[in-house]
Amino acid sequence: MSKKLYSPLPVGPVLLPNRLVMAPMTRSRAAQPGDIPVEINATYYAQRASAGLIISEGTQVSRQGQGYAYTPGIFSPEQLAGWRTVTDAVHAAGGRIAAQLWHVGRMSHGSMQLEGEKPLAPSAITAKAQVFVSDMKGGGTMAPAAEPREMTVQDFKQVRQEFVQAARAALSAGFDLVEMHGANGYLFDQFLATGSNRRTDHYGGSVENRARFLLETLDAMIAVVGAERIGLRLSPWGSINDIQDDEPEAMTLYLAGQLQQRGLAYLHIAEWEWAGGAPYPQGFRERLRAAFNGPLIVCGNYDGARAEAILQAGLADAVAIGRPFIANPDLVQRIHEGASLSVADQSTFYGGGAAGYIDYPTLS
């Protein structure tokens, strides 16, 4: 038995029974119309409740914040009722769950924007990337991201308020924590990165200016639900969704220091080296650990041995695992027992029904 992977970890007011976290993964199975979580989603998450913490799939804070078909929202009464079904099921199975709050920014498509409006972005630069759109037959297809428009002062106010409302709604729907999605080329990451943020006002240019919108939104959420209930996900050196950044270390360490001052519940780092991204520079993990001594979650194609090693080294407090949780609802038990892992069917990752979603077997 691993010494650290299966030890408890306090995260804000929540005690995780182990340090294996289920990473947020888009599965595009919200009910239509309305992008509403339903019983099949509750079953999916409850099956995986042995994770120390489940972080939900990205959940859009508004219609404008949506970029992928069939993803759930957290802004309508029907969506909140659906999420209550999910959180009740997870809690009944003994689990803990955080809501990942999401605004995709420029990673959207006209079919998902009200009246085909342009999506928002820090600057009017189109992402050379694709999004998953409905084929109007219950399935989906990939399509180029739409041309965005540069955000105005009014847009900043609106999006900040959407995150505040989403954080409040998530806790009212039974989530234990909320996670701001600041990673993987979505709205906040677009502000952080030099390639997508060409603004010349006080939201662009320096590290402090590019981080301003994220921190202003975070502070607005803290004022309503408390820092101890909020986590943040970042992806330094990530290039997914056409993100290019000249200062990933400076930005990440600056934000880590800001989170340390605010007493955030956790910092969640998505690593992309496993998928062709740049490796971390020597010493970066140690510098990150020095800047932020709260719960630090890492996510990057870890297995049980690598997870235990980074915990033992003191460079992380928990490890988030994604795709293996799809095909192995009992992943915590399998890693503990050294059992073989089932392999997920990638053709069922996005969209569809029960197949490839709730029909993977457990050891028992």
Q: Which amino acids are annotated catalytic?
A: 186
Closest CA to 35 of 65, 4, 5: 65
Element (H, E) at 259: helix 248-262
Q: Are strands 97-102 and 177-181 parallel, antiparallel or unpaired?
A: parallel
Q: What is the C-alpha end-to-end distance of the chain, expressed in Å?
A: 19
CA distance linking residue 321 with residue 26, whole number of Å: 14
| Phi/psi at 330 (5° precision) | -100, 40
Q: Are strands 230-234 and 120-121 parallel, antiparallel or unpaired?
A: unpaired
Closest CA to 146 of 39, 258, 77, 64: 64
User: Following CA atoms 280, 285, 290, 296 in sequence, which dihedral angle do they give, to the nearest 10 degrees?
Assistant: 110
